[in-house]
Structure 1
Amino acid sequence: MARLAVFVVFVLNGVVFGTWAARVPALATQIGANEATLGLALLGASIGLAVTAPIAARLCAAYGSRPFMLGSSFLSVLVLPLLAVATTPLQLGLALVLLGSTVATVDVSMNVGAVAVIRALKRPLMPQFHAGWSFGGLLGSLGAAAAAQAQWNPMRHFVTAGAIGLVMLLAVAKHAPGGVGEKHRDEPVAQKSVLKSPVLWLLASIALCSAIAEGASADWSALFLVRERGLGEAAAAYAYAGFSIAMAVARLFGEPIQRKVGPHRLLAAGGGVAATGLALAVLVPFPAAGYLGFGLTGLGLAFSFPVVMDLASDVGRRADGTGGERELGLVTTIAYTGFLVGPPIVGGLAHASTLTIALGFVGLVTALIIPATLLARQAGRRFNAAEASGVNVAATLSSVAPCNASATSNDRSG
C-alpha cells in the first residue's frame, strides 16, 4: 500500500501541474500579457520551486517525508484556484510563487518516499513512480482541453480539479510512508557535503537541461501552436497531452528498459530523441509536425528525472539503507533553476525574435544531455571505485588519470 500511496501522490502532483500549465493561453488572455510579460509571470512558479526545494530536502532528512508529502499536497490543490483570480502579470506571478513552493515540497517529499519504497522492494521503480506524475499531467491537460472546449473559465476549472485532487489524497493518506528522520535516530548521522560531489553536479546538469526542455514544452507548446501554427486553444492544449502520453507510457515500462540498457545509455539516448523532437516541431511548419515533435520530446525526456533521481539517491545512501535526501534536494534544486531561467529566456527570445527561434534554442540545450551523461558515467565509476577502496573521493575524482575499475550496480551496463 505504501507503493500505491506514493504513486497516487505523484499522480496528484502531475494533475496540479498539467491543470494550470495547459491553461496558460487562457491565463495570458486573462492578464493581458504578451510573450515577454507572460514569461516573467511564469517565473513566479520557478522562484517558488527553486527556493523551497532545498528547504524541503533538509526537513525531510530531519523529520521524515510523510508529513510534508501530505501537507504540501493538500496545500497545492487549495492554492490552484488563486491563479484564476489574477488580473495582472504581477498577481499571477505571486500566485505562482505560492503554488511553486507547495509543488516543490510535494516533489521532494514524494521522491524521498519513492526511494524508501524502492529500497524496501529492491527494484528500480523510479520510472514507474514518475509515470504516475506523467499520467497526472495527462489527466490535467485533458481536463484543461475539455474545460476550454466547454468554455469553462479558469476559476470553475481549477476549483473542480482541486476538489478531485483532495479526494485522491484522502483515499491514500494513511498509507503514505514516512521514513525515520535524522532527528528521531538513536545515533547522530554524519553528513557529507553534497556541494563537493562532482557526480551530483553532473547529474544535476542533466536534470537542468531536461527541466528547461520539459518546462518549455509545458509552458509554451500550446501557445506555440496557437500563435505560430494557427490552431485554436482547445486543439493546441492536446500538444501537451501528447507530450504527457509519450512520457507516461515510456516511464510505465521503464523498469525493464533500465535493467536492459543501463541508466546512462538510457539518459543519453533520451536526450537525443528529445532534441530531435523539438527540432521537428520548430523546423517543419505544419501542426502535425508540432504534435509529433512534442510527443517525441516527451518520449525522450521520460527517463531524465527518474533515472537522475535514482542515481543521486544512491550517491547519498548510507550503510543502513537510509540517506540520499540531501542529494535529492541538491539535484532537484538545480533542476528547478531550469524552470526558473526557462520561462524568461524563452519569453525574451520570443519577444525579440519568434517563439519558433526560442524553442529551437531549447532544443540545443536539450542536446547537452548527451555529453553531460557521458561525463556523469565516468565520474560515477570513479566515485564507486573510491567508495569501495575507502580512499578520498574528492581527490580521486579530481585526478586526471581515469579509473579502470569495472562498473558497479549504479553504472550497470550504462
Structure 2
Amino acid sequence: MQRDRLAVFTVFALNGLALGSWASRTPALAAQVHAAPGVFGLALLGASVGMLAAASVSGRIIERLGARAVVAGSTALAAASLVLVGFAPDVPLLAGALLVIGASVGLLDVAMNVAAVAVERRAGKPLMPVFHAGFSFGALAGSLAAGLAAAHGWSPGRHLTVAAVVAVAVLLLVIRAVPGSRPEHSEEGTPSRAPIRRPVLWLLAAVALCSAIAEGASSDWSALLMSVERGVGQGAAALAFAGFQLVMALTRLAGTYAQRRFGPARCLAAGSVLAAVGLLAAATIPVAAVGYAGFALAGAGLAASFPMALSLAGDAGKRGDGTGGEREIGFVTAIAYTGFLAGPPIVGGIAQVTDYGMAFGFVAVVAALILPAALGARRARDREEAALTVES
C-alpha cells in the first residue's frame, strides 16, 4: 500500500477509534455526570448537532486551507475534546464537550473523504470503500479497547486520555503523507452551479441519507429488536450489532473490486436490494437466527452506499486541473448527517406506537429507496456531461 493510501486509511481508522472509544463508555459517562436516561440523551444530541453544523461549512474551509491542514487540526481538536468528555463532571459540560467533538469529527469526516478522493484520482481506481473499512475497523478496535478499559476499572477520563494520546501520536506519524496541501485552483472545468442547484448532488445526498438512516437504526436498535421481539439475552442480542459492523467492514474491503467490475450504480442498486431484504427478514420472520442473518446481510448491502456516494460527489465536483470536490462532498455529507440525527428517533417513535418489527419494516423501505436514487443520480450525471459537451 502506498504511503498516501496508508495515511488516509489510518486517518479513517483514527476517526472510527475516537467514536468507538467514547460511545462505548456511555454507561460510565452517564453515571459520572449523574444523568437520567432522558437528560443524558439530550447531552448526546450535542455530538450530532456539532457534526451537522461543522459539515455544512466544511467544504469551503477545506477549499481554503486544504484537506491536510483540516485533517490535522480537526483530529487534534477531537483528541482534546475526548479528554474533556472523559473528565466532564456534570451534564452541561459533557454536552459542551460532545458538541466540540461532534464539530471536530464533522470537519474531519469531510476532510478525510476529500483526501481519499485525491488518492483515488492519483491511483486511477476506486478506493473509497476500502478507506471506509478503515473507519469500521477503527470503531471496532475502539469498542474492544473500551471494553478492556471498563473491565479493568479504568475511569472514562483515564481511558479517553490514553486514547487521545495514541490518536495524536499516530496522526503525527502519517500526516505528512495525507494529500491535500492548500490547493491552487484553476478555473478550468469548474462546475458552473452551486451544489444546491445540481440534481445529481441531491440524488447522491439521498443515497447517503437513506444509508445513514438504515445504518444508524441498525446500530442503535438491532439489539433491542433481538432482545424484545426475538427473546434472546442482552449479551446475545449485542451480537446482532457486532455482526452488522463486522460484515460491513469486510464487505468494504472488497468494494474496490466490485466497483471496478460492475460500476458504482450497479453496486449501489444491488446493495440496496440486499439491505432491504435483510432488514425485512429481520423485521418479519420471528426466528432469532434469521434476525442475525438479516442484520449481517444489511451490513453487506449498506457497506458501499455511503462511501460510493461521497466518491461520486467528489467526482461530480472535479475540475479540469484535477482538484475540486470539497464543496460537493461537504454538501452530501451535511445532508447525510441529518439521517444519523433524525433516523434513530424516528425509528424509536415508530417502535413506541407499534413494535420493533414495524419499525425495521420502515427501515427496510428506506434502504430500498437507495436503488432509485442511485439510478437517478447516474442519469442526472449523464445529462450534465451531455450538456457540457454541447456547450463546448
Give the structure-2-normalised TM-score: 0.87
How far residue 279 of structure 1 moved from its aligned partner, in angstroms, is: 2.6
1:195 aligned partner: 196
Q: Equivalent residue for 1:80?
A: 82
Letter paired with 2:175: A
CA contact (8 A) 1:45 1:101 kept: yes
Q: Contact 2:17–2:140 (CA<8 Å) still a contact in 1? A: yes
Among candidates 101, 104, 109, match of residue 103 of structure 2: 101
Show the counterpart of 1:47.
49
Distance 1:122 1:3 in 2: 13
4+ long deviations beyond 6 Å: 186-190
| Equivalent-residue separation in structure 2 for 1:82 and 1:285 (angstroms) | 44
CA contact (8 A) 1:141 1:240 kept: no
Contact 2:191–2:319 under 8 Å retained in 1: no
- CA shift digits 1:213-265 (9 cap, x unpaired): 122233334455566645345x5554433222211111111111111111011
Residues in 2 aligned to 1:223 and 1:85: alpha-carbon distance in whole angstroms: 30
Structure 1 residues 19, 61: closer, same or farther in 2, change over 3 A? same
Choose 115-124 or 199-208, whichever is displaced more. Answer: 115-124
2:317 corresponds in structure 1 to 316
Q: Does 1:242 align with 2:247?
A: no
Q: 1:114 corresponds to which residue?
A: 116
2: CA distance, partners of 1:240 / 1:147: 20
Q: 1:327 offset after TM fit, Å?
A: 0.6
Whether contact under 8 Å (2:209, 2:339) holds in the other structure is yes
TM-score when normalising by structure 1: 0.83
Compute the displacement of 1:138 (Å): 2.0
Distance 1:381 1:109 in 2: 27
Counterpart secondary structure, 1:323: coil
Q: Is residue 2:384 matched to residue 1:386?
A: no
Distance in 1, matches of 2:179 and 2:363, equals 37
How many residues are paired up?
Answer: 387
Structure 1 partner of 2:21: 19
Distance 2:168 2:238 in 1: 24
Tell whether the 8 Å contact from 1:22 to 1:222 is kept in structure 2 after alignment. Answer: no
Task: Give 1:52 shift.
Answer: 0.5
Could you tell me how far 1:328 is from its partner in structure 2? Answer: 0.6
On the 8 A contact 1:137/1:244 being kept in 2, the answer is no
Distance 1:232 1:6, change over 3 A: same
Structure 2 distance, partners of 1:384, 1:52, is 31
Q: Contact 2:24 / 2:146 at 8 angstroms: preserved in 1?
A: yes
Specify whether residues 352 and 166 from structure 1 end up closer, same or farther in structure 2 by C-alpha distance, changes over 3 A only.
farther
For 2:378 and 2:208, locate their aligned partners in 1 and report how far apart those are by CA, in whole Å.
14
User: Per the alignment, do residues 281 and 168 of structure 1 end up closer, same or farther by CA in structure 2, a change over 3 Å counting?
Assistant: farther
Letter of the structure 1 residue corresponding to residue 9 of structure 2:
F
Whether the 8 Å contact between 2:86 and 2:161 is mirrored in structure 1 is no
| Structure 2 SS opposite 1:57 | helix
Query: Any idea what the Cα deviations from partners look like across 1:80-139, whole Å, max 9, x if unmatched?
Result: 244445577665544332221111111110011111111112111111111111211221
Q: Displacement of 1:317 after TM fit?
A: 0.8
Root-mean-square deviation (Å):
2.9
Query: Who is 1:339 aligned against?
Result: 340
Distance 1:156 1:19, change over 3 A: same
Residue type matched to 1:99 in 2? I
For 2:342 and 2:365, locate their aligned partners in 1 and report how far apart those are by CA, in whole Å.
15
Distance 1:86 1:366 in 2: 37
Q: 1:285 to 1:141 in 2, by over 3 A?
A: farther
1:199 Cα deviation from its structure 2 partner: 0.5
Alignment of 1:257 onto 2:258: yes
Match of residue 348 from structure 1: 349
Inter-CA distance 345–88: structure 2 relative to 1 (3 Å threshold): farther
| Of 333-342 and 347-356, the range deviating more from structure 2 | 347-356
* Conserved 8 A contact 2:50-2:102: yes
Deviating more after overlay: 140-149 vs 322-331: 140-149
Q: Which amino acid aligns with 1:365?
A: V
Give the conservation status (yes or no) of the 8 Å contact 2:12–2:135. Answer: yes
* Aligned residue in 1 for 2:274: 273
Distance 1:279 1:106, change over 3 A: same
8 A Cα contact 1:22 1:218, kept in partner: no
Answer whether contact 2:69 2:181 (CA < 8 A) is retained. Answer: no
Query: Which residue in 2 is equivalent to 1:401?
Result: none
Cα distance change of structure 1 residues 147 and 300 upon mapping to structure 2, 3 Å threshold: farther
> Measured at CA, do residues 357 and 76 of structure 1 come closer, stay the same or move farther in structure 2, by a change above 3 Å?
farther
**Per-residue CA shift, 1:25-61, capped at 9, x if unaligned?**
5556665544x66654443222111110122211111
Instruction: Note closer, same or farther for the CA distance 1:209–1:93 as it changes in structure 2 (3 Å cut).
Output: farther
